[in-house]
Each structure stands twice: as C-alpha cells, then as structure tokens.
Amino acid sequence: MQIYKMSHCVVVDPAVESAPAIVMFGGLYGWEGQWFVERIPAALKSEMIFVLPNHYTTDCSDCLNDLKSKIDDSKISSFSLCGYSRGGIEVAHYIDLKPWKILGLIDPSAPTMGGYAEEVFDKVKSKIRCMYNLGNWSSADYYPKIQSFHDHLLAIKADMTDAAHLHKNMPKFFLEKYGSDFK
C-alpha cells in the first residue's frame, strides 16, 4: 500500500492490479483528507483506492487529476463519491461529474444547507448508501433541515442505516457497513 500526499488530496493506493476508487469529501474541524486514513478499515485499504480531498472546498476534478498522475485509469474498476458531514453537500455538487457507482452520505449535512433541493438525489436513489445518527445533529440550529432530509431519504426508500455512533466515528462504521458495495 502507498499513501500519496498530493496537492489537492491524499491518495491511498492498495497497489493492486485493479480496484474501485472512492472519492471521500470530509467535513469541518479538519475531519477530512489525511484525517480519514486512520478511519478506513485495513481490509478496505488493501482492496480500494481512496481519494481524500484536503478540504471540502477542493475541486473534485483536481483530485481526480491528482489520482490520474499516480494511478492509470485502466487500474480503476469504478468510481464512487462519498461525503461525510459538511462533505455531503459536495456529493450533490459533483453528482453529474462522473457516472458514479455509489453515492455515499455519511452523517451528512442536508443538501438544502448548500443551496440544493432535498430531491437532488431522487434520480439516483439506487446509488445512495447513507448512514445517519440524528442525535449527532440534535443540538444544532439546523437540525430541522437535517431531519427533513433524513425523512426524505426514507420516503424515497434510499439505502439508509440509522446508527448510534458518535459523529467522528461514522466514517469507519459507514465503510464497515457498505464497503462491499463499492466493489
């Protein structure tokens, strides 16, 4: 396994013949980029390529170019896009950038908090994998937006798990639950 600290992201390369690539946007308070490396289960680090933007404002295309500079496209079996916390809004932002296999939402901010409609994911609901703990958001003023988005995902029957994990632990548990879906 190789870890590359690139201009726009960290790339975790399992150094295998072929692997899926997962772009994972993080959130506030430095919970992004390098912070994710220790939260990815070891088994997944040996099977999948992780592209971890240094900041949630980093352009996804720049991260994909960083990836391409280290790993040839022929070694990438599929691309998926995930967003943790504030990074969930970035999944809405880049929804049409590539034909993503999976769209992962990890205890995400609501898309309405970034100017998108709750329905932004309706057309791709079969690609959604989501893990929420509404308790992680209950003390915030924006809880009604989070709860409304959570309820919308339930209404469209997105693949979603409610889990009682602390916010900072959600990436690990999300990957443990849904990791095999990225293959």
Q: Is the pLDDT of residue 140 over 80?
A: no
Is the CB of residue 181 less than 8 Å from the CB of residue 129?
yes
Q: Which of 21, 86, 30 is nearest to 54 (CA)?
A: 30
Domain edges within the chain: 2-182
The Cα 33–Cα 53 span in angstroms is 5
Q: Tell me the pLDDT tens digit for each residue of 53-92.
A: 999 999 999 999 999 999 999 999 999 999 999 999 999 9
Return the structure tokens found at 150.
Answer: 């959570």
- Confirm whether pTM is higher than 0.75: yes
Q: Is the pLDDT of residue 171 over 80?
A: yes
The Cα 29–Cα 176 span in angstroms is 23
| Percentage of residues in the chain having pLDDT higher than 70 | 100
CATH architecture entry for 2-182: 3-Layer(aba) Sandwich (3.40)
The Cα 179–Cα 18 span in angstroms is 16
Average pLDDT over residues 133-146: 90
Q: What is the mean pLDDT of the chain?
A: 96
